Each structure stands twice: as C-alpha cells, then as structure tokens.
Structure 1
Amino acid sequence: MADVEAPLLPNVEVRVAKQTRLFYGIVTILLLGEIISNADASMMLASGARIMSEFNNLQNVDWLSTSYSLGVCAAQPLYGKLSDIYGRRAMMLAAYISYFFGCTISGFSLVYWHVIGGRIITGIGGAGLMTMASIIITVAELLFSYSDIVPVRDLAVWRSYINLCMTLGRSLGGPLGGWLTDAVGWRWLFHLQAALTATAVIPLALMLGSEHGRDDTADNKTSKAKLQGIDCNDSQLMTPISGVLLALALSCLVGFVLVERHVARDPVFPLSLLQQPNVLASYLVTHRATATEAGARLVPAVVGNAIGGLLAGTIIKRTGRFKFITSIACVFAASSYAMVWLFWDGTSRRWESLYIFPSGFGTGMLQAGAFVSMASCLEANQVAVATGGYFLFMNIGSTASLL
C-alpha cells in the first residue's frame, strides 16, 4: 500500500506549488491594476491644464476628472453582481479592455470632447480595476486553500496590500504625469496606461478560469435569465410615488436657486461664484509654493496611510480583532484635524505638514478595519455585490470632497 500511495505525494506538492505561483501571478496583475487606476486622478491634476490648454479650453479642465468620476460611479456598483452572473474573468477582462480603449481614445483625440468621452470609458474600466481586485482576492475561488472567503486575519493583510497599492498609485501619478507631460507630451500619459493594460490582458485571461466566480447555483438559470432578474422591468420610474419624489426634488432645486439669487441677503452659496473661472484657481495659490512643493507637503499623509494600513493588517492577522482598530483609527484622524484647527494660523511652515500624518495613519487603519468588518458578516455570495458598493461610496466621498 505504501508503494502505491508514495508517488502521489510529490504530485500533490507540485500541484500546490503550481497553484501558489498561479495565485501570486494573478495577484500581481490585479495589484498593478489598482496602481494604474488610482494613479489616474493625480496624473490629471498634474497635466490637466496642459491638456486643455492645447485645445484652448482651460476653463473645462475639471471635466478631465469629473468625466472619469462619472464613469466610475456609474459602473462600480454593477461589477459585483455582473461578476456573479458572467464570472470574474469576463468582468475583469471587460474592465481592462474598457480602460484600454478609453485611454487610446483620449491619447489620439483631436478635439477636447473626444478626450472627455475617452475619460468616461476609462472611468468605466477603472471602476472594474479597483473593484474586481478586491472581489477576486476576497472570494473563495481564487484562494485555493480556503473554503468560503479568506479568513478574517488573512483578509486584513491582503486588504492592507491593496490599500498600499492604491496609495502608491496616487503618490506616483502626479510626479510621473508631470514628468511625462514635460518630457514627451501629455498624450503619452494615455498611451502608457493603454500599453500597461493591454499587456496585462493576455496573462490574466490565461490565468483565470473561464468559469471563475460564476454563480451557477440559482435554479440552473441562464445568464440572460439572471440578468433579467436584476433589471427594472418590474419597477418602472414613472410610478406615482417616483413621480412625486422626482417633482419634489426638482421643486426644491428650483426653489433653492430662486431664493439664493433673488431673496437671500447672505446666500449660503452665491451663485455668481459659478460665473467666475478664477475662483478655483485662487485655491491653488499656496504661499507661492510650486505644484511639486505643494504635493510634497502631502507626503506625511501618504506615508501615514501606508503605515496605518499595513499595521492594521498585521494586528488583525495576529489578534483577529478589528473593532478596536476601527475605533482607534477615528481617534487618530480626529486628532489630526484638531491640530490643524487649533494651530494653523494661515501660513504653512514645512514642519506643520506633519499635522496631517495622524490623519493618513488613521485613514489607512480605518480602510483595512472597515473592509474586514464588512466582509466578516457576509456570506460568500454577497461579497462581490457588497465590495462594489463599498468602493462606490469611497468614490462618492472622494468626488464630493472636491465640490
């Protein structure tokens, strides 16, 4: 009996080693997507003025970021459910292909509206790059040695790695975007991103199985039947209650505009500001600091974010507790804002940039703890949809902070 079973042991070890290499190969590509998608925003901040100046539309520079955010927010909640229906590989490839075509369109555009259209398509792909990495790493099918989802302790570590790549992308995007724009022109920003995503598509298609992540347990329904189950055929917009709510919302908007313009002596938001293109530019004047110097003063927050995420992941892995991490993270963030409020006197000395380190540190811890807290109370078939919603609200918050 021993002679018969002995040859099986090396085969098992070889299979495990092969699966391990496959796992890390997939994760590397997914984390690359996180870096690319998160670098985009800071790239546009560094090069947006140059891009729109070439088209004589500097007043529309905000649309480079806004159009991308619109694509992200529109597509992000869909990736989770659609990946349950069509599989992780199909949606991951769709995200990479959308990102590739969006960057290609923007890179070869001759009028600025083509750039904006390309940015919307890029945002649709970027939503998938950000969301699908967390879904695939979290859900069981990828991690061959686990039964349902990644155990909470290991999930915290992987989440900290994702957070680190997101932070790295945001940090590198600005300097890289400014350097490429000055050295070879802004079009190479889009060409480089398109090349990186195209390079990742082939190995990703080969590594992920065709049925990866697909849910085939729901009464043997076809993908078309499952898709019809989540559409709006049975919940039309123009029902009586929807009509009332829509009319009420429009009435409130019209009323707000009329009151702010014609009635209020001290408007909450003077509408005349919207007619002044220099209002936004005035916020960019920071003690005569260059864009590079202003960006360098954000380094403490970036470093704190990375350290906080990694530390939180390590603590949760060792202790299995995340409630304390989430609570203490809020204290760190609040202390940072309190220091800025108490000690900032209108000038920005270099050492005062350290005030924002606790904010970044607390945010990094909170991102790791909040994601683990969410995933720990979900069934495996709920993780994909919940992850899409998690990233959607993150991007809504990021977009709202710019308004």
Structure 2
Amino acid sequence: MKQDTALSERPAVGATPTGPDPERAAPRYTGGQIRNILIGLMLAMLTSMLTNSIVGTALPTIIGELGGQDKLAWVASASLLTMTATTPLWGKLSDIYGRKPLFQVSLVIFIASSVAAGFSTDISWLIGARLLQGVGMGGLVSLPQIILGDVVEPRERGRYSGYLGAVFGVSTVAGPLLGGFLVDSPLGWRWCFFITVPLAVVSFGVIQWLLRMPAHERTANKIDWWGATCIVGSAAAVMLLLSLGGKEFAWNSPVTYLFIVVALVLAVSGVFAERRAEDPIMAPRLFRNPTFVLAGLASLLVGVSMFGVMIYFPQYLQIVKGMSPTASGLMTLPLVVGMLSASISSGMLVSRTGKWKIYPVAGMLLVSAGFGVLSLLQVHSSIALVGTGVGLIGLGLGLSMQILILATQNALDRADMAAGTSAVTFFRNLGGAIGVSAFGAIMTNSFSSGFRSVGAEAIAAGASPDELAVAATGSPAAIHALPDAVRELVLGAFNDAMHHVYVVGAPVALAAFVVVLFLRPTPLRSHT
C-alpha cells in the first residue's frame, strides 16, 4: 500500500504540468521494483529486436516453402517499414491515453501478428502479418524508453537505460544463431515467429503486475489525425523507396521519382498540419530545441553506421572467410560484448557524475576507428583484426545510442518527453533503413564491377561460364565450390566491395562525431 500512496502524488501521465513546480518528482519506486519493471521492458524490446534478426536467417527456407521469390524484399522489409513509420505516433498516443495501456496494446498487436505469421499459408499472408508486426514493434522500441523516463529521474536513468541499449547487442547475435537452430531443427521456420510470443506474454504480465500508475486524464479532445496521416505517409514513402529501390524497381525510374514527390508533399503538408494543430503529434517547438535537433541528427547517422555494419558484416565472414552462418554469428561477439560493456558502464558513470557528453563524443570516434580497421581487411586477414574492428564499433555504439536519448529527455519539458523520445528513435530507425539501402547499393555495384573485371582471368584460370554465372549471385556455397585460382579472384572482388562499404562508413561516423561536439553538456536533472 505504501507504493500506491507514493504513486498517487504523481500527476497524470501525459498531462501538461501546472503549478509552481512543473518538473514534479517521479514516483518513489524501490530499487527492486525498478529492476523488475526494467526486466519487463527489456523482454519487450528483446522480442521486437529478435524478430527481424531471426527471420533474416530463415528467409531462404520460408520462400522455398511458401513460394514468392519475387516478394522476398517485402517479407524482409515489411516490419521495418511499419515500425519506423509508426514510431512517432506511439509516444504522442501514450500522452493522450497513458503509457501502460499503449504499451500493452503494442504487445497484444505484436503477439497476435507473430502468431498469424507463424501460421502463414502463403506469402501474401506472411507479408500482411509482418506489416502488422511492425506496428506493434514501433511501440516496443519507443515506449520502454518513455516509461523509464516516467519511472526514474534523469540523473539515475543512465544506469537503467544502459541495460535497454544492451538488449540490441544481445538480439543481434542471438537472432541469427537462434534462427539457424530453429530452421535446422524439427520445429521448423514457423517457430522463428512463435518463439518470441512467450517473451512478450511474460513482459505483458510483468508490466501489468508491477507498473502502477494513477488514473490517466486525457489531455486532448481531438487527435491530430491529419498530422498523423502526413507523418506516417511521408515516412512510409521514404521507407518503401529505401527498402524496395534497386530491387523491385530501378533507382532511376518513374516509380522512384513518384515516391520522392509523395514523400515531399506529405512532409510539407505535415509541417503545416503540425503548426496548426491544437495538440500536434510532433510539436514544432521540439525543433527549436538544439539538443533535440542535434541528438536526432546524430541518431540518424548512428543508425546508418550501425545497421550498415550489422547487415553486411556476416556476408564478409561467410563469403570471404568461408564461415558457416552459425560461426559468422559467433564472430559478432566482439561487437556485442563491446556494446554491452560500454552501454552498461557508461550508464552507471553518467548516473554517478551527471555528465554525459564525453561518451557519445568518444563513441563516435571509436566507431570511426572501427570502420577504419575494417577497411584494412584483405582476403587472408587475421580473425584478430576482424574482431578488433567490430569490437571498436560495438564500444562506440554502446557509448552513444542510449546517451543520445537520455540527453534528449533531459533537455525537454516533461510534456514533450514522450514525443521527443519517439522522434529520436524514429530518426535512428530511418538512419538504419538508409544505411541498409545505401551500403547495399555500394556493395552490389562494387562487386558487380569487380566481378566483371576478373571475368576474363577467371575463365583463363579454368572457370566455366556457368560456374561464374552462379558465383555472380554472391552465394557462399557457389563461390567456395570454384577452383582455387578462380575462387581467389572472386573473393578478391567481394573483399574490395566490402572495402568500399567500410570506407564510406567511416566518414558517416565522423559526421556524427562533429554533430555531437555541438551538443550542450547540460547536467542531468535530479528530478523528472
């Protein structure tokens, strides 16, 4: 009963602060209660992150059973599309309807869509389920940060947010390994979707039992539907372009220009809608806050770097180093260990000192150095050099990702905290989509060019045109089945392609470093 008394002193979640002290104290949860709530939030984030990394491993098997090779890009990108597009909405809707109900709604959507995906009988059904899954994931990646902002004061938030950031690293390694195990086991690929359901159910129960909030008072009589439509529509157009461009249609095509026009028109319309709305989804005043703008831009660049290395690094290991999918997943351990250690330790140090700017500054330098090391890789480079490069990137990302969100929350009024947190998360996800698309185009074009240049040498070395045609698809098995002399030529072409990816990644990280240098090092508040 003591807990309920303390909580009753807190204003309704999402209500505009009133009175002489708008920055009222957070409810007095005990350390044990906060840890249990944190476990529930981490489980929710883990389910959403695991989904994409697990499915990536299972895609060839899924397409082989359900058919629809021409729709593979849709299966891979559907959830990322709707997750990114809907992320800004979840924060604002939680201001209106309350954090806990919206978090549980996102869990229910995720659970229902995961079950539907697992029971898919054709590729269209699976794509529809993945689209709905992404809607739930949008809430699961943004609302835990917002709830943590409600429960813990900014000065103490660092030590807990570090654990949320570490979840991403764990899911990066666990996903491919778990996906490969499930596909090869009697359970089959359908359990790649079913496996996350128990975690989501446990998270729902933990939050239902432990997260006690006062009765919520709705702060708006009317939802900004026009602004929401424009924001989601513009983001969806950009995501469709980045996800499908170069696969479903050429970059230099009428479809590309149509998506660009639609995205721009909706974005401009959204600006006018938000300026006129009584209670906007993404208030224009947010963009007058320099910390929010700089943290959002830095998060976008972090997303480009992070997703670029995580998506394409396993290909280097499987093709150039000849590793199995399981072994290549294990080789990402330096990345994960770096993210875990840096995220947790920096969070604790931030809580102890109240100072945070040094961590993203150092983090972006480490990411740049990591890309620099990876750009030195050759076909026969040592595993130690590979591990050093990804380890540096992991350390840098661990020092940066959660601290940028923490800095944003600290710089905004309580009434804008949810919208600001969702927006920064949205920028990071958008950066990830840009990174996957841009680095993929760089790698594909570089490999195609390099492969053509060694074609004559490969034929002279004894390769048949049919063997080269199969190897040109980038299949690790096909490449390593080539004669030794030919294989060395093809591996060299692929290594050069990956070199171009890492060379581009370094200046992206340096740009993020420059951006965070301009962040104002405002000390963390000791109240929410």
RMSD over equivalenced CA pairs, Å:
3.0
For residues 236-385 of structure 1, the aligned pairs below 5 Å read 256-257=252-253, 285-341=319-375, 343-353=376-386, 354-385=388-419
Within the alignment, does 1:120 sit opposite 2:131 as a pair? yes
SS of 1:94's equivalent?
helix
Letter in 2 for 1:122: Q
Contact conserved, 2:165 with 2:398, CA < 8 A, in 1? Answer: yes
Work out whether 1:99 is the aligned partner of 2:110.
yes
Contact 1:50 1:186 survives alignment (8 Å): yes
Give 1:108's aligned amino acid: F
Tell me by how many angstroms 1:57 deviates. 2.8
Aligned to 2:412, what secondary structure does the other structure show?
Answer: coil
Structure-2 residue corresponding to 1:61: 72
Against the structure 1 CA distance between its residues 188 and 321, is the aligned structure 2 distance closer, same or farther, given a 3 Å change threshold?
same
For residues 366 and 388 of structure 1, the distance between their equivalents in structure 2, rounded to whole angstroms, comes to 17
What is the Cα deviation at residue 293 of structure 1?
Answer: 2.3
The residue type paired with residue 362 of structure 1 is: G
Q: CA deviation at 1:186?
A: 0.9
Partner residue, 1:246: none
* One-letter identity of the residue aligned with 1:106: A
| SS of 2:226 mapped into structure 1 | coil
Cα distance change on mapping 1:112 and 1:91 into 2, 3 Å: same
Q: Distance in 1 between matches of 2:251 and 2:383?
A: 46
Q: Measured at CA, do residues 63 and 130 of structure 1 come closer, stay the same or move farther in structure 2, by a change above 3 Å?
A: same
Of residues 167, 178, 191 in structure 2, which corresponds to 1:176? 178
**2:188 match:** 185
Structure 2: how far apart are the matches of 1:189 and 1:254? 32
Task: State which of 222, 228, 233 in structure 2 corresponds to 1:226.
Answer: 222
- Range with greater deviation from structure 2 (287-296 or 323-332): 287-296
Partner SS, residue 344 of structure 1 = coil
Distance change (3 Å), C-alpha of 1:344 and 1:93: same
In 2 relative to 1, CA 309–236 (structure 1 residues): closer, same or farther, beyond 3 Å? closer
Q: Which amino acid aligns with 1:160?
A: G
Counterpart code for 1:321: K
> Are the equivalent residues in 2 in contact too, given 1:305–1:360 (CA < 8 A)?
yes
SS at match of 1:285: helix
Separation of aligned partners in 2, 1:234 and 1:286: 45
Cα gap change, 1:355 to 1:32, in 2 (>3 Å):
same
Q: Give TM-score scaled by structure 1 length.
A: 0.76
State TM-score, norm by structure 2: 0.59
- State the one-letter code of the partner of 1:33: A
Q: Distance in 2 between matches of 1:173 and 1:234?
A: 32
CA distance in 2, matches of 1:48, 1:234: 32
C-alpha distance after superposition, 1:255-282 (max 9, x if no partner): 9438x9xxxxxxxxxxxxxxxxxxxx99
User: Are 2:158 and 2:403, in contact at CA under 8 Å, matched by a contact in 1?
Assistant: yes
| Cα distance between partner residues in 2 of 1:111 and 1:72 | 22
> Partners in 2 of 1:231 and 1:305 — Cα distance?
38
Matching residue of 1:268 = none
Give, as a single letter, the amino acid of the residue that structure 2 aligns with 1:157: R
User: Residue type matched to 1:351 in 2?
Assistant: A
What SS does the aligned partner of 1:401 have? helix
Identity of aligned residues (%): 21
**Is the contact made by 2:82 and 2:134 (CA closer than 8 Å) also made in structure 1?**
yes
Alpha carbons of 1:346 and 1:95: their partners in 2 closer, same or farther (altered >3 Å)?
same
1:108 pairs, out of 119, 135, 138, with 119
Using the TM superposition, give the Cα deviation of residue 372 of structure 1 relative to its aligned residue in structure 2, in angstroms.
2.1
- In structure 2, distance between residues paired with 1:188 and 1:164: 24
Question: SS of 1:226's equivalent?
Answer: coil
Q: Is the 8 A contact 1:40 1:170 kept in 2?
A: no
> Is the contact between residue 42 and residue 173 of structure 1 (CA under 8 Å) also seen in structure 2?
yes
Q: Which runs of 5+ in 2 are unaligned?
A: 7-27, 232-248, 257-313, 438-528
Over 3 Å counting, the alpha-carbon distance change for 1:291 and 1:233 in structure 2 is closer
Q: 1:386 maps to which residue? A: 420
- Does the aligned pair in 2 maintain the 1:89–1:211 contact within 8 Å? no
Q: Which amino acid aligns with 1:151?
A: P
Aligned residues: 337
Cα distance in 1 between the residues matched to 2:229 and 2:43 = 39
Change (3 A) 1:27 1:226: farther
* Contact kept? 1:307, 1:361, Cα under 8 Å: yes
> Is the contact between residue 63 and residue 116 of structure 1 (CA under 8 Å) also seen in structure 2?
yes
Could you tell which deviates more after superposition, 120-129 or 76-85?
A: 120-129
For the pair 1:77 / 2:122, whether they are aligned, the reply is no
What SS class does the counterpart of residue 292 from structure 1 fall into?
A: helix
Change (3 A) 1:314 1:195: closer
Q: What is the CA-CA distance between 1:103 and the residue it aligns to?
A: 0.5
Aligned equivalent of 1:135: 146
Amino acid at match of 2:353: T
Q: 1:162 to 1:202 in 2, by over 3 A?
A: closer
Give the corresponding residue for 1:248: none
Deviation at 1:64, TM superposition (A): 2.4
Quick check: 2:113–2:129 contact (8 Å CA) kept in 1? yes
Q: Kindly tell me: are residues 188 and 288 of structure 1, through their superposed partners in 2, closer, same or farther at Cα, counting changes over 3 Å?
A: same
| CA shift in 2, pair 1:312/1:206, >3 Å | closer
* 1:396 and 2:430 correspond: yes
Moved more, 62-71 or 120-129: 62-71
How far apart are the structure 2 equivalents of 1:346 and 1:291? 18
Letter paired with 2:226 = C
Question: Residue 47 of structure 2 aligns to a residue in which SS?
Answer: helix
Letter in 2 for 1:117: G
Cross-structure match for 2:13 = none
Unmatched 5+ residue regions in structure 1? 1-10, 144-149, 238-252, 261-280
Over 3 Å counting, the alpha-carbon distance change for 1:392 and 1:14 in structure 2 is: closer
**Where does structure 1 differ by over 6 angstroms across 4 or more consecutive aligned residues?**
13-16, 233-237, 281-284
